[in-house]
Structure 1
């Protein structure tokens, strides 16, 4: 099974989970839109990944990172990005 990175971010007020597929146009990456509201729980994220055809790699844990909206301006709003290693399972897109 090939490994990929799944990421959770908030865009235009909506939480979106997507799986990064190298060599594939971003518009074709598998994704799940959680809508607006609070950060999706780990269980909700896991179910969404399963629905997309992916599972966590052994020992994988979500890692959160913050980064400025404008990298050259430390007073710009901070964005959050969570990531975790996943692999495709039978029927998953890879």
Structure 2
């Protein structure tokens, strides 16, 4: 059994890059590209994010909430542009193999 087959929860993250929001599910120890969904320029609503996770075969873990954090484009540079990152715990939907 691979490390992912026994895992039930993952982290989904969303950030903005080149003017578009991108949601992706972090799947540790995988060589393949992580599942991702590209939004437009507007900040995706809670429903938009949940729908995108569903398209990718995931759903929020019951009781999980989106957490927002701020980072910078260039680490250790206080003048660097801010980067917003959102994260939530997710699980694969019933019947979806990860």
> Fold-level match, TM-score > 0.5?
yes
**Separation in structure 1 between the aligned mates of residue 30 and residue 72 of structure 2, nearest angstrom:** 26
Which residue in 1 is equivalent to 2:54? 50
Which of 31, 34, 54 pairs up with 1:29?
34
**Equivalent pairs, count:** 92
- Aligned: 1:19 with 2:35: no
- Report the alpha carbon displacement of residue 92 of structure 1 after superposing the two structures with TM: 3.0
Compute the RMSD of aligned alpha carbons: 1.4
Q: Once superposed, which parts of structure 1, at least 4 consecutive aligned residues long, lie more than 6 Å away?
A: none
Q: Structure with the greater relative contact order (CA < 8 A, sep ≥ 6): 1 or 2?
A: 1
Gaps of 5+ in 1: none
TM-score by length of 1: 0.90
Larger radius of gyration: 2
Query: SS at the partner of 1:39?
Result: coil
Which of 79, 84, 91 pairs up with 2:88?
84
Gaps of 5+ in 2: 1-6
- Aligned: 1:64 with 2:83: no
Q: Deviations over 1:8-67 (max 9, x none)?
A: 111111111100000113x521111112x2100000000010111101112100000001
TM-score by length of 2: 0.86
Query: SS at the partner of 1:44?
Result: helix
Contact 1:55 1:87 in 2 (8 A): yes
